[in-house]
Structure 1
Amino acid sequence: MVSPPHEAMHRIFRHDPDLFGRLAPRLGIAVPPIVETTPLLSAVDGSSPVACSRNTQLHVRTAGQEEFQLLIEAQDRRDPARPAHWAHHVAYIWTQRRLPTCLLIVCADEDTARWAEQPVSSAPAQPPALTLHPFVAGPHNLPLVTDPDEVRADPELAALSVMLHPTDAHVGTTMEALSAALRDRPEAIARPLIDLTAISLQLHPAGRAWRELVLPAIREWERGRGRVEGGADSARESLLIVLGSRGFNLPRDVRERVAECQDPELLRHWLARAVTASRAEDVFVGA
């Protein structure tokens, strides 16, 4: 199932947990310098009311050795029922982890963002038993990153700004700089960010433009995988021919290891050993 577009706005913090530390000063959030941020997964077996597919949870450690939990949720519209759910989620995590817990709401709609950042009390009685004070990131307090140097320096922050400004007149400029920056990154790092950005924009015209911008990089990665897989197949075939011609019988686990290996360099290393080895086990020793 494809995730709703607004969920990409909190999932980007799983992709880059350190993003919050760079985002906080821009939002005016007063936290000490953050030295470590670790994603946490909530239970999905029904034992936790905080479903991990609907939010992101981070464990944050600061330079002063303070620790706190950060719950990040995305909201796409006003919903009077949500603040009570947010308060419940924060209280649950606070109880389970026994650490201070903060809440960040991410909204692409400015009206929703301004609504979400208002404190909400549990009752009209004074003083209320509980008052929720969420942090909020939205179009009103996180501008679109348009400087190409800033985009290259922090593609994740630039991607989040695109998610929050999908209809901005200058979003195309940012997307061009972002797609160029991601082409220079390894696929394992760049591809999740490309996909999250695409998910967030799928209901906007900018989504089609984004797919066209990143298509050349995706095709190049696919061609590269094809070259690697082709090289691995060739090296594996040569290895098996040499082993067979020399009369080596391979144990089942070794045959499976050779069949599953996708590293052309390792296969060629085994091939070079197979030419001179006196026993089959000498081919794979230490590898």
Structure 2
Amino acid sequence: MVSSSHEAMHRIFQECPDLFSRVSEVLGVDFAPPTAVDILPTDLTETRPLERRVDTLLRFDTEEDGTFLLAVEAQGKKDPAKSASWMYYLTYLHSKYRLPVFLLVVCQDRSTAEWATRPVHIGNPKWASLTMRPFVIGPHNMPLITRTEEARKDPALATLAAITHADNRDADAILKAVSGALRETPEQLAYVLAEFIAQGLGGRPIASLWRKLMAVELSFFQSSVSEELREEGREEGREEGREIGRQEGQAAGLAKAILRLLDRHGVDVPSAARERITGCLDLELLDQWFDRALTATSVDELFADE
């Protein structure tokens, strides 16, 4: 089964294909920014019943480097069988499109990256008929971006760096830097990049920090994460609802979620306001308070315009 981390490591190149020109700088190879990029079908299946799919396939048009194809593969662990598959992808694509083809492998651990970097030869020591030399990106060579001003220069590169450094001991500083940069990034792009980071972190403990940053600092981000927090409250309410009724239970769960968000912000909640929240049974009003609690700095903001 394809993991969310796997998806994030290659799909970011579909959303931000020009990211490759900056990644190539990390690799020490100078590829000019593209003048045009096409996302091509990833199905490399032959006529015989053998299905082969590359993760992401892009065609770049550039002024300096001409037209070429880039196959992006996300690799989570060492897999000896992958080398043969990658070599097949390159030869098939070269035969089909008659264009130069490059392979970029994205990893999240150093040992897998080092394994993927090794050239693969077809032939024998006397003469290699074919040699594959992929580009490899991972925690061993991606920049460690821990300052917001640096992340702000290139949010897409900072996002990919955060994904590849998901297991770094400074991951919390990396995520805080990226979240600060995304606050000043156009909302549509910020939404996509934030979602990629959420996918790239997978089930790691640090993922909970990113959920909090998205819910609190990235207040514009109306995604599955804020809905997940809301649903957590509703789920708690369903449990309580078995005893005190469905609507009352959901209301109680949402009230708890609102109070948790305010507590995370360090917002002081007087007893009167706390009773007003916990005593409310209007789910629509509680949803409204929940949305305000994502960015509230005082309890008065919660009840504004009422």
Give the secondary structure class of the aligned counterpart of 1:122. Answer: strand
Identify the range of structure 1 (112-121 vs 168-177) with the bigger mean alpha-carbon deviation. Answer: 168-177
Residue 19 (structure 1) shift = 0.4
C-alpha contact 2:21 2:30 (8 A) present in aligned 1: no
CA distance 1:65–1:134, change in 2 (3 Å): closer
The amino acid of 1:184's aligned partner reads: E
Match of residue 114 from structure 1: 114
C-alpha contact 1:42 1:50 (8 A) present in aligned 2: no
CA distance 1:92–1:217, change in 2 (3 Å): farther
C-alpha contact 1:18 1:37 (8 A) present in aligned 2: no
Gapped regions of structure 1 (runs ≥ 5): 224-287
C-alpha contact 1:159 1:178 (8 A) present in aligned 2: yes
Residue 184 (structure 1) shift = 2.7
Instruction: Measure the CA separation in 2 of the matches of 1:217 and 1:205.
Output: 19
- CA-based RMSD: 2.4
CA distance 1:206–1:37, change in 2 (3 Å): farther
CA distance 1:208–1:221, change in 2 (3 Å): closer
* Greater radius of gyration (CA): 1
Residue 13 (structure 1) shift = 0.7
Instruction: Measure the CA separation in 1 of the matches of 2:176 and 2:125.
Output: 53
C-alpha contact 1:103 1:135 (8 A) present in aligned 2: yes
Match of residue 39 from structure 2: 40
Residue 59 (structure 1) shift = 1.4
Instruction: Measure the CA separation in 2 of the matches of 1:44 and 1:63.
Output: 28
Give the secondary structure class of the aligned counterpart of 1:103. Answer: strand
Residue 169 (structure 1) shift = 2.4
Residue 140 (structure 1) shift = 1.1
TM-score of the two chains, using structure 2 as the length reference: 0.66
CA distance 1:71–1:43, change in 2 (3 Å): closer
Residue 221 (structure 1) shift = 4.8
C-alpha contact 2:191 2:221 (8 A) present in aligned 1: no
Instruction: Measure the CA separation in 2 of the matches of 1:50 and 1:118.
Output: 22
C-alpha contact 1:56 1:73 (8 A) present in aligned 2: yes
Match of residue 58 from structure 1: 58
Instruction: Measure the CA separation in 1 of the matches of 2:189 and 2:8.
Output: 16
TM-score of the two chains, using structure 1 as the length reference: 0.70
The amino acid of 1:83's aligned partner reads: S
Percent identity reads 37
Q: Does 1:73 align with 2:109?
A: no
Instruction: Measure the CA separation in 2 of the matches of 1:221 and 1:5.
Output: 20
Q: Spell out the pairing of 1:165-176 with structure 2 (5 A cutoff).
A: 165-176=165-176
Instruction: Measure the CA separation in 1 of the matches of 2:44 and 2:130.
Output: 29
Q: Spell out the pairing of 1:201-280 with structure 2 (5 A cutoff).
A: 201-216=201-216, 220-222=220-222
Instruction: Measure the CA separation in 2 of the matches of 1:35 and 1:67.
Output: 9
Q: Spell out the pairing of 1:134-213 with structure 2 (5 A cutoff).
A: 134-213=134-213
